[in-house]
Amino acid sequence: MLDVDSVRLAQNTPKEKPVPASATQDPGFLDVVSHDPAESDSEAKSLLNRPSANFEWAREDQLSTILESFDDTGSRKSRDELERQKEQEHWPLAPLQEEALRKRAAVVKPRVKRARFAEHISSPGHISKQYREKMSMSGARTAESPRPIAPPPKDLETIEYIDKSLVFEHFTTDDAWQLGSALRNRLLHIPTPVVINISLANQNQILFHTCTHSGVMPDNDTWVSRKRKTVLRWGCSTWYMHCKFEGDEIAFRDKYGLGNSAGEYAIHGGGVPIRVTGVEGVVAVVVVSGLKQHEDHGVIVEVIRELYY
């Protein structure tokens, strides 16, 4: 026998509508079909207890957590990068970076053109032998160098003839100034510093004395004095004495019995006597010191001939 209350309850209980098969297969599908409030409440409760709903919420929670972690990581990285950039702006460069920048800057150095005589502001003794030979006026001529000084003859007869032919009609202080200035202009373009001296023979009165460039040493004045004494004592050029003894100073000393006083004289070219018509003996002496000895002698003869002959 059926219970009356059970029958009535079964009649009043709404029947559940069948759920489509596609909905059961899709865990993200919410199977709410009816819009009846009563049905919605009962179906909502059943949906809450479904595994698919729990999975959907869990997936949403996981996605939100992952996105939040990405946002936190990105913002943390951006903050770290900004702080690192600020530190690099305010802190000095690392030693390796500074060294690399210095090397890179040193590679692109502008080439500075040196002054023509910058390397020759020193005494002749500090200039290398090879460099002096290169800059010698008797060598090859360059675009910036003047005409080379002609080498003088070495046979004694020709040298003696030239010495005696250098005769002036008069020789005053004006003549000494003109001759000394011409010698300086001739030697000014030669980078080696040179001393030019003109003095009277009967006394130590200097009529002209100059240097072509800075770098002349006191030793140059000693050479001037020694060459001058040789010209005054033997009445000929020092080049003549050099060729006569072939540069042998010991033979020169023994020939005249000079002994220890031989050092007061020099048999190196660069001292030339000045004679005047109608006057006996040597009137003045012209001395050039600083070049090779044949150039010292040759430039004096060259300038005198150009001025007066």
Tokens of 278: 């109608």
Within a domain: residue 119? no
- pLDDT over 80 (residue 12): no
**What is the rounded CA–CA span in Å between residue 294 and residue 267?**
11
Let me know whether 143 and 71 are in one domain: no
If asked whether residues 151 and 295 sit together in one domain, one would say yes
Asked whether residue 104 is assigned to any structural domain, the reply reads no
pLDDT band at 201 (very low <50, low <70, confident <90, very high): very high
Q: Say if 67 falls within a structural domain.
A: yes
Count of domains observed in the chain: 2
Which phi and psi (to 5°) does residue 14 adopt?
A: -70, 145
Its domain, for residue 47, covers: 28-88
For the ranges 29-33, 173-177, 216-220, 297-301, which has the lowest average pLDDT? 29-33
pTM above 0.95, yes or no: no
Structure tokens at 107: 């590679």
Distance CA 273, CA 198 (A): 10
Residues 168 and 213 in one domain: yes
Q: Same domain, yes or no, for 240 and 131?
A: yes
pLDDT tens-digit profile of 156-178?
999 999 999 999 999 999 999 99
Helices (H), 17-126: 21-25, 37-48, 51-90, 95-107
pLDDT tens track for 87-125:
555 455 555 566 666 666 555 444 444 433 333 333 444
Q: Are residues 223 and 136 in the same domain?
A: yes
Of 65, 88, 111, the residue at which a domain comes to its end is 88
